[in-house]
Amino acid sequence: MTTNKKIALVNPPLPLDIGGHPQFPPLGLAYMAAVLDQNGFEVKIIDCPVNQIDHTMLKAELSAFQPALIGTGSMTPTIESAFKVAQVAKEVCPDATIVMGGPHATFSDKEVLTQEKSVDLIVRGEGEETLLELAKQPETRRKLGDVKGITFRNGNEIIQTANRPFIQDLDSLPLPGYKFLNIEKYFVAKRKLLPVITSRGCPYACSFCVASQMFGQKFRARSPKNVLMELEWLQNEFGAEGVAFQDDTFTFDRKRVMEICNGMIERKLKLHWGCGTRADVVTKEVIDTMAKAHCDETMFGVEAGCASMRAILKKGVTNEQIQNAIKWAKDAGMFVTVSVILGYPGETHETLQETLDFAAKLKPDDVWLCHATPYPGTHLREIVIQNGWPMSQDWKTYNTMNPIYEDPKLPAKEIAEMRRRFYNKFYSPAYILRQANKGYFKGNLYSKIMTRTAINYNLWRAMSAFHR
C-alpha cells in the first residue's frame, strides 16, 4: 500500500470586512513547504488572499488534490476563516489530518480544539520540525504523545505535549519554497519587493507582545553569509528590486548587521530595503552603513512618549535614544516610521497626550497609532480579564485599528477621538510640503511604494501579536 505523501498548506481567505492584504508571500508556509519538499513530500501551497480564493473555491482545490495532511495558519483577525478552512478540508478530505498553527492557535490551543472539531491538532510555536515529524508519522508510526510541540485530543481529554526546542542553526533551513507560489502575484505596482527574515527570538519582554514566547527569548540569527546568499538568490532568480526584512529587531546584533550591509555593498547588490527595530540598538555608524547598503526605510517602536507608560509597557528605551535614532535615520535620507500604543492599562488622558505630542515633535514620515490590543497570550489580555473590563469577542476587530476593551478611567471613544485629531493635524499641508521636498511625491516613488508595503506588512504582523 502506497503512503499518501501529499500535503496542502493553506493561507485562509480574508473576511470581506477586513479589507486589503499585504502583497507578500506567506514566509511561514514557504519555509515549511521547503522543509517538506526536501524530505520527499508533494507540497501544494494555497494562498487564498492573493489568489482571490474563497472557501468554495478552496473546497474544489482540496478535493482535486486529496492531501493526507492539511495545515492552515491562525492569525487572530482571520481565525474564523481558518475554522472554515478546517471545516471545508474535513468535508472533502475526511481521512486527512487537519493541523492548525500560528500565534492564535499556539496561545489558545485548548480553546481552538474545544470550539472547532474539524481541527485535529495544534502545532505550537515554530512549525518546521513539528510539521515534518507529523507528516512522517504514518511511516514512523510514532505516537502523537511522543511528538513535541503539539496539542491534540485523546477522547474527551485535550493533551499538550512538551514544548519543542527551538531550531538553533537557522542556516540549516532551506530557502523559502517560492517555487510553490506564483511570485509575480506578490509584486506591488510592478515593483519586485520580497520579504526576508534573518533571525528569530526576542530577548525583550514587552508586555504587549508574545514574540519572546512564540520564538523564544534567545536571539537566534542566520549568518551574514547565509543571508547574503538569499539576497543574491532573490535578485538573480526572481528579479527582486527590493526586500523588506521582517525580523522583530533587525539591528539587535549590530556587528552582524554591519557585516550584512558591507556584504551587500561589496557584492554590489542593487536591492533597496526596509526594516523595523528599536532605538536603543542602533548607532549613527550602523544607520549610515545601512543607508549605504540602500536601506530606504526604518520603523522604530516608540510605543510611548512618557517614562511612566514606557515602564508599564516594559519598553526600555529613552526619549533621547529615540530622538537620536530618528535624527540619524533622517540625516541618512531614510523614510522614518514610528509606532505608538494607545490606551494600555495605566494610561491617562495626560500620558496619552504626552505621547502624541512627543510623536509629533519627532516629525517622522509616518506615525502608526495602534490601539492596545489584547491578543491571546499577551500580558495585556490577562490584565483586561482580571479587571473584568468589557472586551470585544469579534476576532476580526483585533487589528490594532479598533478599541477592543473599555477602560473606565479612559473611555475608548476618547482615545479614538484623540487619535483622529492627531492624524488630522499630522497629515497637514506642512507634512505634504515636507514630503515633497524629500522627493516622496516625485522622484522617489520606489522608496515610497516599498515603505508603504513594509508598513502594511508590519501592521499585518501586529494583527498576529508580533508588534514590537
User: Per-residue pLDDT tens for 20-47?
Assistant: 555 689 999 999 999 999 999 999 999 9
Radius of gyration of the chain (CA): 22
Specify whether the CB–CB gap between 267 and 232 falls below 8 A: yes
Task: Please provide the size of the chain in residues.
Answer: 468
Q: What is the pLDDT of residue 188?
A: 66
From the list 157, 135, 281, 164, the residue with the least C-alpha distance to 219 is: 281
Specify whether the CB–CB gap between 131 and 32 falls below 8 A: yes
| 438 pLDDT more than 90 | no
462 Cβ neighbours under 8 A, 6+ residues apart = 370, 373, 399, 400
From the list 329, 319, 318, the residue with the least C-alpha distance to 282 is: 329
Mean pLDDT highest for which of 262-271, 307-316, 391-400, 440-449? 262-271
Domain positions in the chain: 6-160, 187-463
Band (451; pLDDT cuts 50, 70, 90): very low
The three three-digit cell numbers of residue 439, written as one number: 522627493
Q: What is the mean pLDDT of residues 242-250?
A: 93
Q: What is the DSSP letter of 191?
A: B
Task: Report which secondary-structure segment, H or E, holds 381.
Answer: helix 379-387
Reduced 3-state DSSP string for 286-343: HHHHHHHCCEEEEEEEEECCCHHHHHHHCCCCCHHHHHHHHHHHHHCCCEEEEEEEEC
Q: What is the mean pLDDT of residues 101-115?
A: 95
Band (190; pLDDT cuts 50, 70, 90): low
Q: What is the pLDDT of residues 454-465, one digit of tens each?
A: 434 333 333 333
Task: Report which secondary-structure segment, H or E, holds 424.
Answer: helix 412-426
This prediction has a pTM of 0.90
Band (439; pLDDT cuts 50, 70, 90): low
Q: What is the mean pLDDT of residues 341-358?
A: 96
Q: What is the mean pLDDT of residues 342-362?
A: 96
Specify whether the CB–CB gap between 214 and 164 falls below 8 A: no
| 70 pLDDT more than 70 | yes
| Rounded Cα distance, 321 and 281, in Å | 9
| Rounded Cα distance, 416 and 422, in Å | 10
- Determine how many CB atoms are found less than 10 A away from the CB of residue 219: 19
From the list 206, 200, 235, the residue with the least C-alpha distance to 129 is: 200
What fold, for 187-463?
Answer: pyruvate-formate lyase- activating enzyme (3.80.30)
- Cell 540625516, located at residue: 331
Relative to beta strand 242-245, strand 193-196 is parallel
Q: What is the pLDDT of residue 454?
A: 41
| Rounded Cα distance, 275 and 277, in Å | 7
- Determine how many CB atoms are found less than 10 A away from the CB of residue 409: 9
- Determine how many CB atoms are found less than 10 A away from the CB of residue 451: 25
Specify whether the CB–CB gap between 97 and 120 falls below 8 A: yes
| Rounded Cα distance, 144 and 363, in Å | 54
Give the phi and the psi of residue 6 in degrees, each rounded to 5.
-85, 135
| 350 pLDDT more than 50 | yes
Give me the CATH code for the 6-160 domain, please.
3.40.50.280
Band (19; pLDDT cuts 50, 70, 90): low
Q: What is the pLDDT of residues 197-225, one digit of tens each?
A: 999 998 887 777 777 778 877 999 999 99
| Rounded Cα distance, 219 and 146, in Å | 27
